[in-house]
Structures are given as C-alpha cells and as structure tokens.
Amino acid sequence: MLTYEPDETLAHRLDPRSKLAIQIGFAATALAHTSPRALATLTVLTGAILAVARVHPLRTLYAYRFALVLLAIAPIVAAVTFGPPWVALEDGLASAQASYRVLLILLVSAAYIRSTPVRASRAAIQRTIPGKPGQVLGIGVALVIRFLPVLQADLRTIREAIAARLGTERGPLERTTTIGQLGLRRAFDRADRLSLALRARCFAWNPTLPSLSLSRLDIPALTLAIVLALSALV
C-alpha cells in the first residue's frame, strides 16, 4: 500500500514544490518522447528517483497490480483487429510503449507519495495556486491521498471475508459483482462519515498549514525539473 513513510532520505528533505515540479516535468517528457533511447533514459532516471526515496520497486509494482493488469491488456487490445491481418503488431507496439510510459510515471509518483506528508502536499498546492482554486485543489488532493488507502483496505477486507465464506468457489463474474457492489456501498458509507466528521470539526477552507521553504538541496531538483520540462518542448 502506497502511503507516506517518515524517513531521512534526500527525497524527504526536499520541498514538496520541487518534487511536484519534477513530477510534472517527468510526465511531460515521458508523454512527448517515445523513442527507445528516450524510454531507456527515463527508465534510468526513474530508478534513480526510486533509489533516492528508498522505494522498493517490487513492492511498488505490487501496489499498482490492478493498474498493471490494465496496462498489460491495452497492447493486446490495440493489436487485435476485426479483419486481416487480424494482428497489427505496430499498433500493439505503440500501445505497449504508451503503457510503459504510464508505468514510469506511476513509479515516480510512488516516490513522491512515500516521501511527502499529505499536509505538505496540500500546502504546496495552495501556496502555488492562489485563491479558491488552489484551496479546492489542495483539499481534493489531500482527501484522495488519505482516502485511497482506506478504500484499498476495505476491498481487501471484503475479499478476505468472501474467501472465508468459500466465495472463491463461485464464478469470476459473480465474485467481481459482489466485490464491486460491497466496495461501492462501503465507499459511499465512508464518504457520508467523512462529510459528517468534517462538519463536526468545523472544517476550514484555509487552515494553518506547515511552513515550506526552499533550500540548497532543492536547487538540483528544480534544475532537473526545468531540464525535463524543456526537453518535452524539444
């Protein structure tokens, strides 16, 4: 499960605005360049980012296992045609490259999530985007980061409960439907409880957020973000 983990790595000491800039520049470059050389360079850069944040690649891939299934199916669907030649290898290869770029972006985002507290992310967004739009976006990002692990834990609990009741002997469609219905019901219940909790705690649009300050450590990070952003335009 991808959540923030306190540590003393270089990534943890960076300002969250620098890390957001790197993510934006990396995503722009990954989507703009599709050549094998560019993908190889981005792969090396992704490995370096994961190492700096001390993110275990296998654990991260397991956390993204459902997204990986979709990314793996996409090239197959793109390659299959409804007429001769029945399989278009070029379309499948292009889709595979796109899926791989998305995977690299997900891995970089995992490094950000692991090294950045939720309140720091909200502070970075609200202080970068002024006014109400920044507040709304900051609140939305904070709630999503906090809410997703809870929903994942609920789905895991549902699957374990179904397995304990010999639900694994049912058909795949029936199991998927049951998990989906129970998961949606639990999600709506969570949302109602969250709304009540926010009202009970006098939810504020502009709370006291942690202070942020750029340091010398952020200079290389911002430089990398600028280089990635410029490379996307070349």
Q: Using CA atoms, how far apart are residues 192 and 126, in angstroms rounded to an integer?
A: 25
Residues 6+ apart with CB under 8 A from 6: 12
d(CA 211, CA 209): 6
Band the pLDDT of 137: cuts 50, 70, 90.
confident
pLDDT at 205: 61
Q: What is the pLDDT of residue 145?
A: 73
**Which residues, listed in sequence order, are joined to residue 92 by a DSSP beta bridge?**
none
pLDDT of 78: 83
Q: How confident is the model at residue 66 (pLDDT cuts 50, 70, 90)?
A: confident
pLDDT value of residue 85? 76
**Crossing angle (nearest 10°) for helices 36-52 and 89-115:** 20
Q: Render pLDDT for 113-128 as a digit per residue (tens, 0 to 9).
A: 899 888 888 888 888 7
What ranges make up the beta strands (E) of 86-147?
none
Measured at the alpha carbon of residue 108, what is the angle toward residues 123 and 66, in degrees to the nearest 5? 105
Give me the pLDDT at residue 203, please: 66
Note whether 59 and 110 are within 8 A (CB): no
If you average pLDDT over every residue of the chain, what do you get? 84
